[in-house]
Chains A and B, each alone.
Chain A
Amino acid sequence: MSAEVVLQTERIGRRHEHLYFALRNPKVAIGLAIVLALLLLGLFGPFFLSDSPNEYVGPKSEAPSGEYWFGTTYFGQDVFTQFVHGLRSSYLVGTLGGGISFVIGLAVGFTAGYRGGMVDEVLNMITNVVLVLPALAVLIVISSYLEVRGVVSQAVIIGIFSWPWVARAVRAQTFTLANRDYVDLARLTGKRSWQIIVREIMPNMASYLLMSMILLFGGAILFAAMLDFIGLGPANAVSLGTMMQQSMAWSSLHLGMWWWFVPPGLAITLIVGALYITNVGLDEVFNPKLREM
């Protein structure tokens, strides 16, 4: 009887173990809740608000009130509308920029680590070159040369320059895993290289990949905010960074218009901070040694 129970729980346990610990880990729960709440606001908020966040709708420099939740700007634009649209573009930059760098990083890392030899030497050289490029300087130069700066082009540029550390880590891991006998055994079963990478090697580093995805997402949002703040943000859309840049340009700090710059700044801090907390929590989930329970 008892032996059977043990076997049963073990079977269920292993499959759902990570999910079980993830949902019970306060760091993961809080982090994900914040990220998801802001995501939902950014996704669905714009449907209930004006489509043009730059419209002059109300009195100038109005403090937050029942009508204008986050007040209005120096020119009488609604800060809440801008904030919600800004959230949306920040998430877009994060997803797209993080996604692009994730895909490039994985492709380069797996190819270099699995093929080895000359392929590895060349790919590793490229990775190192991109890694030591002063990314911010390059982004500034490229951004300032672009005719039309949009959210998407910004995300693509960020994605193209932030993959190297993922590629390096994936390459190193792949090197170790590719020498395991089960990889040879998969070859003896007539599997192709990409099948071996996807089905034998990748599942073994799933936790690492998930975490690097989260960090890339947060990194892209932060990078975009940085570009926006120095005036290289999207010219045709509102983002959290451009809101802060505008508020600084019209000296809201000196005029005491805190409602103009606090929401976007707080939102960026919250998103990136919550992602970081989620990441730390997931680390505990995947690494039982760090679990407190």
Chain B
Amino acid sequence: MGKLRINIGLLAVSATLLTGCMGIETQVVDELQLATAAGFKHIKDDEIEATISFPVFLTDKTVKNATLTATDTLNKELRDRQNLKSEKPIVSGKLEVILFDRQLAERGFFDHLDSLMRDPSIGSKVFVVVLDDDPKDVLSKQYGNKDTGIYLSNIIQQNIETGLIPKTNLHLFTYNYYAEGKDPAIPIMAQSRDGVGIRALGLFKHDKLVHQIEKDELFFYKVLFDSNSSGETMAIKFNEDKKASIINVESTRKYEVLQPMSNAEIKIKVKAKMMIREYNNGLLNKDKMKEMENFIKKRFEEKSAELIQQFQQKGTDPLGIGEQVRTRTRNWDKKKWDELYPNIPITVQAEIEMIESGLIN
């Protein structure tokens, strides 16, 4: 036994020494360029221009935003070209946001996502965003004491958490891209006077941008989209000078599909509890509350129906109505559903309850 121990000890020592010959690339954080955002812009045909932005940490503890741009046809080739210009090797382990310009989004960009999905160093939580402006332009600006990638990612993260836009990331995009009966929807961002902001929600058919939901329609979309949601806000106008702002406290959404895979009506039932945040039409009494409930109910039903009709016309299904049907029937047929979808009557029934009106009446 003693001899065996010595043998094993020798082997263990040699094993530790062998680790040197393992051919492992060491990657020290200080000696890397950690890309935080990547923006892609369509140039012509297959050619794309890619810009990455990364933070440069200065000695006085401030962060400077820096970018590198290159043009090529393949995503990973772009990385190599950028590397040729870079002082330190670029790695994508800290990538937070991927931006595609509108032209690329309309042509379809799933091919470019391939290299991101294939790369184990990129997480599924990366945000995929359509940008209305030139990505190079947006990424090369610095907003506050941060690099632009983190800045953009914070904007999106914050808006998801407060409930203004639905959850979005690379995983959800690919989920919806591959799902039968559901299409992807991702935020569209654009430059404004104060920096960069979310402008709308872009709707996709396969991987092509076909339509968008504007800011003031997001409320309806969000309530319809999530089976349970809260935090969405909406401004309503009764007429020229009577206005109010409300917040959704708690809402539930249910589908009623009586005859799946047929032309029969599909009902979406929404029950929402809402609260008034701002009201400028004098005192708020019980009658006015009641009146408002009715008004919101009517408006909600109209607006939602309008939105869904737009989706049907464009042939995109961001709400996942197809998925609702698919999970309710045993004879699901993707092709047949695609034919049925534009013509199915889909109605929304809302039940609105005003539960609170703030500190004053």
Same complex: no
